[in-house]
Amino acid sequence: MEKRGKYTTVSIPVTLYNRIKRVIEGTGFTSVSSFVTYVLREVVASYEEERSAEPFTEEEREKIIEKLRKLGYL
Amino acid sequence: MVSKPHGGTLIRRVSPRDKRETLIEETNEMVSIDVPFDIATDIENIAYGVFSPLEGFVVQEDYTSILYNMRLSNDIPWTFPITLDVSPEEIKGVKEGDTIAIKHNGTFIATLQVEEIYRWDKKRFARHVYRTEDPNHPGVYKTYRKKELLVGGKILLINELPNPFYKYTLRPAETRILFREKGWKTIVGFQTRNAPHIGHEYVQKSALTFIDGLFINPLVGWKKKNDYRDDVIIAAYETLIKYYYPRNAVVFSITRTPMRYAGPREAIHHAIMRKNYGCTHFIVGRDHAGVGNYYGPYEAQEIFSEFPDLGITPLFVKEFFYCRRCGGVANEKVCPHSEEYRVKISGTKIRQMILSGQTPPETMMRPEVARVILSYDNPFIEEV
Ligand SMILES: [Zn+2]
């Protein structure tokens, strides 16, 4: 598929680069960059997950529970 | 734990009750456009967070990023562009920064803050999103009939659409609270546009053996000719759950949104919606959201490997069949017997039997479910 994303460069030690190159041999990863992108997305997402809040107040929560009871879900 | 909303925040773009009157009055001075049902349901889904983190129709930067990278411009996974198409005449005189009124069938439903008006290339959209430019593909066909401009910007829902399935329509804020109240730590979402046969039941139950709760969530809205009617799907599931499911292990509720038949990309979109409802897992079938022979049978499963940051775990459950040698329902993972013993549970075959007034065999469909479906004059969609 055509890719038209913008890319930038990040430095990693050559030793790590070579290590990754060996690890991805024979896998679906076609380059060190695609492997690094994959791993970083996985890690970054787990950091982001820690800071997210629910959008409803305690009062709204009680209202919803009442509705769920009325409709037979609870 | 109930899953975190996609992108981190559950979106809510619904006008507070006390502001509604003023907003409705203000719309008298706005340019207004009337949108078809599909778009109207998109607005509701944005407003209630089903499409979190979207707060409106995508602007060009996101549109392009979704097409080429399957991500929003902030790198969050997003595979199907949620767009509002308009003709130049409809938005004559509208400038970026204006607020316009959105109606459906003449009734005012929402406002839209116009952030951007841009042209789009329908063929390019089809090539990327549907992986084909063939107008015989139902999604591509619909794309080619859309208008020539797209409008991006945040929406605010003022009036909900009339909903004959109100009782069965839970919003993400509601399911998230419901799952917690039930004490479920893991929840598996099941997508469907069909009345349930034995194969579906076993797929769901095989997941339910190791997951706390099952969320059955049919899509109600535009589908192909010959698909099951919405009221039939609901009645069939009510019956199945009543007779064959542990009461406290399942929640059934619908989502009003069109099937887009975008195969792999739609599988990701379906998973994201269920994540917003609070699911931690999502069942991805063979040829999920596919149509005809446009997608390989496992493409919709393979695409998940491109999204390590999706935040919901896909479950790839093998199809079930009836095995005469095993003496029960089985699948490739658990049955060693050859084809001669296996009876395929075929949706197409069941459909043909129902159309000719026959009851499908119990190895394919629960008799109570079959009875309910057969009680309808025509349980299938005739026109689209
Ligand atoms: Zn067997």
Predicted ipTM of the assembly:
0.86
The whole-number pLDDT of residue B227 equals: 87
Phi/psi of residue B82, nearest 5 degrees: -95, 105
B204 CA distance to ligand 1 middle (Å): 20
Where in A1-74 does DSSP place strands (E)?
none
Domain spanning B166-374: which CATH class is it, in words?
Answer: alpha beta
Q: Do A3 and B10 touch (CB under 8 A)?
A: no
Handedness of CA A59, A60, A61, A67 (dihedral sign): positive
pLDDT at residue B248 in the model:
93
Name the closest residue on chain A to residue B276, using Cα atoms. A54
Specify the DSSP class assigned to residue B358: P
Q: Distance, CA B49 to ligand 1 centroid (Å)?
A: 44
The ranges of chain B with pLDDT < 50 are none
Comparing CB atoms, the residue among A48, A52, A55 nearest residue B12 is A55
pLDDT bracket for residue A56 (50, 70, 90): confident
pLDDT value at position B305? 95
State the distance from the centre of ligand 1 to the C-alpha of B358, rounded, in angstroms: 27
- The two structure tokens encoding residue B222: 């535009």
Strands (E), B44-115: 56-57, 85-86, 99-104, 107-113
HEC profile of B4-69: CCCCCCCCCCECCHHHHHHHHHHHHHCCEEECCHHHHHHHHHHHCCCCCCCCEECCHHHHHHHHHH
Q: Which helix (H) or strand (E) holds A64?
A: helix A58-70
Residue B248: strand, helix, or coil: helix
Tell me, what's the pLDDT at A3? 54
- CB contacts < 8 A, A to B, total 67
pLDDT at A1 over 60: no
| Residue A48 pLDDT greater than 90, yes or no | no
What is d(CA B12, CA B379) in angstroms, rounded to the nearest whole number? 35
Q: Is B232 helix (H, G, I), strand (E, B) or coil?
A: helix
Q: For residues B35 and B46, is the Cβ–Cβ distance under 8 A?
A: no
- Smallest Cβ–Cβ distance between A52 and the set B9, B68, B173 belongs to B9
* Superfamily of domain B17-157 in the CATH hierarchy: Sulfate adenylyltransferase (3.10.400.10)
In chain A, what residues touch B173 (CB-CB under 8 Å)?
54-56, 60, 64
Chain A CB contacts of B262 under 8 Å are: none
Q: Contact B185/B212 with Cβ under 8 angstroms?
A: yes
pLDDT at position B224 is 76
Predicted confidence at residue A54, as pLDDT, reads: 67
In the numeric block, which tokens belong to residue B259? 């099937």
Residues B9, B10, B13: CA angle, nearest 5 degrees: 115
**d(C-alpha A50, C-alpha B105), whole Å:** 43
Tokens of residue B34, six digits: 């009337």
Q: Which residue in B76, B252, B77, B65 sits closest to B175, CA to CA? A: B252
Mean pLDDT (whole number) for A34-59 = 82
- Burial environment of residue A70 by CB neighbours within 10 A (0 to 12, 13 to 18, 19 or more): exposed
pLDDT bracket for residue A4 (50, 70, 90)? low
Backbone φ and ψ of B59, nearest 5°: -85, 170
- Which residues of chain B have a CB within 8 Å of the CB of A38? 308
* Structure confidence by residue, pLDDT tens digits, B276-328: 999 999 999 888 998 999 999 999 999 999 999 999 999 998 899 999 999 99
- In this prediction, residue A2 carries a pLDDT of 46
Distance from CA of B181 to the nearest CA of A (A): 8
Cis peptide bond upstream of B53, omega within 30:
yes
User: Model confidence over A15-35: pLDDT tens digits?
Assistant: 999 999 999 999 989 999 999
Please report where in the chains the tokens 């929003």 appear, as a residue: B72
Domain boundaries, chain B: 17-157, 166-374
> Hey, what are B17's tokens?
């009750």
The span from the CA of B157 to the CA of B20, in Å, is 10
More confident residue, A59 or B239: B239
Phi and psi at residue B256, to the nearest 5°: -90, 105
User: Looking at residue B6, what is its pLDDT?
Assistant: 94
* DSSP tag of B58: P
Q: Given this model, what pLDDT does residue B213 score?
A: 98
**B150 near A41, Cβ under 8 Å?**
no
Give the C-alpha separation, B314 to B304, whole Å: 7
